[in-house]
Amino acid sequence: MTTRTHRKSVVFSRPFLLKGIDRVLPPGEYRVVTDEELIEGISFPVYRRVSTMMFVPSQSRHASSVEMVTVDPADLQTAQDRDAAAQRVSAAKSES
């Protein structure tokens, strides 16, 4: 099977929670990797998502260690939307 990988970075300005991760994650930039596989037997190329992983700081004492966790893209988008909304509220308060 043919597989392709998409990489992107997401930025959080505030601490956040994601389903499946049992701790609050700090603000910052996070790498997200999505693997998709080609569905064969169709007359045009179609891919389906196999997994989405995010690199998060590890709970270990080593500041540079990270772990790769599987995340639901919808949960990740919800967390990003919450972060953006909180940022807008904070900006609106500082304008008044």
Distance CA 76, CA 80 (A): 6
Rounded distance between C-alpha atoms, residue 42 and residue 29, angstroms: 38
Reported as a single tens digit per residue, the pLDDT across 80-90 is 999 999 888 87
- CA distances to 1, 15, 77 from 29, rounded to whole Å, are 32, 11, 14
The strand pairing partners of 10, in sequence order, are: 30
Q: Is the dihedral of CA 17, 56, 50, 46 positive or negative?
A: positive
Task: Domain ranges for the chain, please list them.
Answer: 3-95
Residue range 45-69, pLDDT digits in tens: 999 999 999 999 987 766 678 999 9
Per-residue model confidence (pLDDT) at position 58: 86
